[in-house]
Amino acid sequence: MKNIIGRKVGMTSIFTADGRYVPVTVIEATPNTVLQVKTVATDGYNSVALAFADARKNGLTKPEAGRFTKLDLTPKKHIREFRKSIDGAPEVGGTVSVDVFTAGEHVDVVGISKGHGFAGGIKRHNFHGGSRTHGQMIHRQPGSNGDTNSGHTHRGSRRPGHYGVDRTTHQNLEIVRADLERNLLLVMGPVPGPKNALVIVSAAVRPPKVAKEAPTVKAAAKGKK
Amino acid sequence: MYVGRKETMNVIDLLEREQLKSDVPDFRPGDTVKVYSKIVEGGKERTQMFEGVVIVRKGGAIGETITVRRISHGVGVEKSFLLHSPRVEKVEVSKRGIVRRSRLYYLADKVGKAARIKEKKVAR
């Protein structure tokens, strides 16, 4: 598994090598420090802990900072553990950079979605709502709550409520560019969360089996040769 | 979760600026231009020229588009081009026009002589 922790910078559009104009999300992932490698022998399972973004001097508690200073590493703000190891044998104290990914590859991106507060059914569940005109007095209301025969509201029925700030995964986004010089990943399409939010980029769990109709960046690069 | 702003605040500006063309000539709506664009036809790539009046320049920076209008076989044809796209090879100005607005949508309603644009005489 390939993983990296980064920061969502924002969105823009980019021309690909074959001249397509594609929307991309820019993710900045300064080299992640490998903080800990867990193995079955020592911990009962395999995993790698990565750390991202330098912490302020007083940004961490002593025990948190201790994990770094013990290994003579610069303290980082965010630590995430990934089950299964990163390809190759990562060493504690080593780094993971954006060059683990190449253009054309598919990735899953995890983020915390934007908060919408207490949202109604239309925004939260894509209800249609009533007509604005023609006399009814139901516009954005959720409508029926279910049958009266059963005497209770069915569990899991979609109602207004808190929306957003959920851990959200977008699967199979294509890497458009991996810029090692500036530690940038350009991922096609949107990514969950607001700007400056933490995102986790991993190799796709379920990559598409068949090439899509539209030529991917990789296919186009091949065709050019 | 908020990770914090960094010195790379304008990364997006940078990325966009890198892709801008430096050789786009100065032209305005009302001018007549030749746009050379690459098109893929039957698996082959070739350059096609489209000449007409610029009726609008829209958007900024990397997303800037121009819409060019011409009469082709008696039918008005408008084509939009992404000005900074690598598929648009070259833009040449062939005539300067005198117009009083930035969006010449009214041209679509005019036929024949009424659809002409006064030419600006440029000292050669």
Q: What is the average pLDDT score of chain B?
A: 86
Looking at the structure, do residues A188 and A131 belong to the same domain, yes or no? no
CATH number, domain with residue A186: 2.40.30.10
Which residue from A34, A27, A31 is spatially nearest to A87, judged by alpha carbons?
A34
The ipTM is 0.76
Looking at the structure, do residues A151 and A200 belong to the same domain, yes or no? no
The total of structural domains in chain A comes to: 2
Chain B residues within 8 angstroms (CB to CB) of chain A: 1-6, 8, 11-12, 15-16, 19, 38, 62-63, 82, 84-87
How many C-beta neighbours within 10 Å does residue B44 have? 7
Q: Which of A10, A26, A198 sits opposite B3 (nearest CB)?
A: A198
Looking at the structure, do residues A98 and A124 belong to the same domain, yes or no? no
Q: Which of B1, B3, B85 sits opposite A15 (nearest CB)?
A: B85
Structural domain range at position A21: 3-116+167-224
Q: Model confidence over B57-76: pLDDT tens digits? A: 998 888 899 999 999 998 89
> Nearest CA to CA, how far is B2 from chain A (Å)?
5
Contact B1 A14 (CB under 8 A): no
**Alpha-carbon distances, residue A110 vs A13, A102, A182, B113 (angstroms):** 21, 18, 21, 60
> B25-120 adopts what CATH topology?
SH3 type barrels. (2.30.30)
- Tokens, residue A11: 């969105």
Q: Tell me the pLDDT band of B4, cut-offs 50, 70 and 90.
A: low
Looking at the structure, do residues A112 and A189 belong to the same domain, yes or no? yes
Looking at the structure, do residues A49 and A94 belong to the same domain, yes or no? yes
Res. B51: pLDDT tops 90: yes
Looking at the structure, do residues A147 and A179 belong to the same domain, yes or no? no
Given this model, what pLDDT does residue A144 score?
85
Looking at the structure, do residues A97 and A149 belong to the same domain, yes or no? no
Looking at the structure, do residues A109 and A7 belong to the same domain, yes or no? yes
Show pLDDT as tens, one digit a residue, over chain A (225 residues). Answer: 689 999 999 999 999 888 889 999 999 999 999 998 888 888 888 888 999 988 888 889 999 999 999 998 999 999 999 987 555 667 888 888 888 999 999 999 999 999 999 999 999 999 999 999 999 888 999 888 888 888 888 888 999 999 999 999 999 999 999 999 889 999 999 999 999 999 999 999 998 886 655 555 555 555 544
Given this model, what pLDDT does residue B1 score?
47
Q: Model confidence over B9-49: pLDDT tens digits? A: 588 888 888 888 888 899 999 999 999 999 887 888 889 99
Q: How far apart are CA A142 and CA A36, in angstroms?
A: 49
Looking at the structure, do residues A93 and A132 belong to the same domain, yes or no? no
Least confident of B7-16, B33-42, B84-93, B106-115: B7-16
